[in-house]
Every structure is written in structure tokens, then in C-alpha cells.
Amino acid sequence: PEFNARALDAEEAVLCFGAAFGLVPEVSEAGPDGDVHVEVVWHVLPVREAPPADVPSLGEAERELAEALREATEVLSKLDVAGSGPVAEAAIDAYRARSERGREVLAPGYPPRAVRVLELAQRVGLLVSLASGKGHGGAVSASEMAARGAALRPVERTARRAQVAAYNSMVEERERGVR
């Protein structure tokens, strides 16, 4: 927990492979005006050696995401309460524009499958948030809104798990001896 908190505060960290340690930089500036230099002190902290037990493999995450999407699509189609409307369409258009700018979602060196899974999971997460939002869905009654929410919750959870799997795919590859 201390490593996580410090890494989030610093907005960067290094995890050591093969050792249960992480390094978090503390950056400061020192010196008079015109002669300022940057000092970096690295704090070594204990970390878990493996990803949390609830992290699926990349393959499992991809399969779970595809299954959850199919199931939710079936349920929402039967209920006729899928998200739609001008607000949802504008949000989807804005997301597409962001995606088309070619931003990288993972650092160089991650497997292409991890990038693909992460991008899909992020798109699914956005779509779930749009479909869940007030004014975006076709549900008009409380029971329809509850049914829509029940259909979307597992998809949202699966999308989050798929993102974690993508971020942890480098660890997965190293454990298999790929890198």
C-alpha cells in the first residue's frame, strides 16, 4: 500500500523483476536562480511479487470481454433499453475523435494483443457508462432501468478486469519466459 500511494503521488515508479521491490522517485530542485539542478532520490519499497490473484490472463480477459458483450447485447436487445440519443451519440463521437488521434495506450514493448484488449476494454467501459447514464437509454420505467443496470454491471466489471490484464501482460509474458 505504501508503494502504491507514493507511486500515485509521484506519478511514476519502477517495479523490479525477480525481486519484491519497487522504486519511487522523489524529485526536487536545489540551488540559486540560474544554477538550479534537479535531485532525484529513489525510495525502495516492498511490493507484491506477482499481480493480484484476481487478474485474468490476457487470453482469459479477451474471452470474458467478448462473452460479457454478447450476453449484455442479447439482454439489452430483448429489453429494448440500450443507450441512445443525441447526448450518447455526441459522447461516442468525441471518443472516436480521441481514438483517431493515435494516442498510445501502453508503453512500447507491450504485446500487440495487450494493446488491442486495452483499447477494446476502454471502448466498452465508455459505452457502458453512456448506456448507464440518465437520458442516454431507452429505459423509461424503474424496472427497465434496473434491468439495464443489471445487464451492464457484469460488462463494466469485465472491462475493468480486461484493462488490468492488459496492464499486467508484461508480467504474464515474463512469467512464461517470453521476454
DSSP conformation letters of 139-179: --SHHHHHHHHHHHHHHHHHHHHHHHHHHTHHHHHHHHT--
Q: Name the grid cell of 177.
A: 519466459
Provide the pLDDT for residue 179. Answer: 46
Q: What is the pLDDT of residues 26-78, one digit of tens each?
A: 999 988 988 999 999 999 999 987 655 678 899 999 999 999 888 877 777 77
Q: What is the pTM of this model?
A: 0.62
CA angle 11, 44, 30 (to 5 degrees): 65
Say which range, 3-7, 107-111, 126-130, 162-166, has the weakest mean pLDDT.
Answer: 126-130
Count of Cβ atoms closer than 10 Å to residue 136 Cβ: 20
29 vs 84, residue with greater confidence: 29
Q: What is the dihedral of CA 164, 165, 169, 170, to 10 degrees?
A: 20
CA 109 to chain CA centroid, nearest Å: 18
Helix (H) or strand (E) holding 23: strand 21-30
Which range, 58-67, 93-102, 118-127, has the best average confidence (pLDDT)?
Answer: 58-67
Which range, 51-55, 113-117, 131-135, 172-176, has the best average confidence (pLDDT)?
Answer: 113-117
Distance CA 145, CA 147 (A): 5
Length of the chain: 179
Q: Is the pLDDT of residue 134 over 60?
A: no
